[in-house]
Amino acid sequence: MGLFDKIGQRFSSRKIVYMPITGKVISLSEINDGVFSEGILGKGVGIIPEEGIVYAPFDGEVILIADTKHAIGLKSTQGVELIIHVGMDTVEMNGKGFSQQVKVGDSIKCGQQIMTFSLEEISKSGYVSTTAVIVTNSDQFKTVEVLLEGDQEKQKELLSLS
């Protein structure tokens, strides 16, 4: 196998998670919740949202929606399992201000709107809107690399897994 074959193989085996929300990318350690900041659920990032819309970060399937609508679990066609957890302690809001445009078992396309939430309701309820984007099967990958930081638009390459 030549050098270009190896390079091509390396890139073809990469799995990409795109920005699901427009906002400021922060490291997991900056999230004010130990379950996320200590990587207990897996590797990933935090996003401080600028708007209340979540977009599918890859092609795949919806595998979980929290009863309280604040979190959604997804699995990519390449086997990446991801949870998008909007806000910290927003489970206490019992779904107020959250709405899904998909249901468990639905196929999703990268860029498709899958969830909305009210930044105003989260703030009014006394919570922060910092959103955790976690690869829950991180241990199945050699690397989970964060590609962005700071203010970013939706659908940019956020994580690279190999």
Number of domains in the chain: 1
Q: What is the CATH number of the domain that holds 58?
A: 2.70.70.10
Question: Which tens digits make up the pLDDT trace of 103-156?
Answer: 999 999 999 999 999 999 999 999 999 999 999 999 999 999 999 999 999 999
Range of the domain at 69: 3-161
Full DSSP string of 1-63: --HHHHHHHHHHT-EEEE-SSSEEEEEGGGSS-HHHHTTSS-EEEEEEESSSEEE-SSSEEEE
Dist CA 152 CA 136 (whole Å):
23
> Among residues 43, 69, 85, 154, which one is catalytic?
85
β partners of residue 159: 17, 146
Dist CA 127 CA 139 (whole Å):
30
pLDDT at position 1 is 46
Q: pTM of the predicted model, to two decimals?
A: 0.92
**Is 85 tagged catalytic?**
yes
pLDDT at position 13 is 80
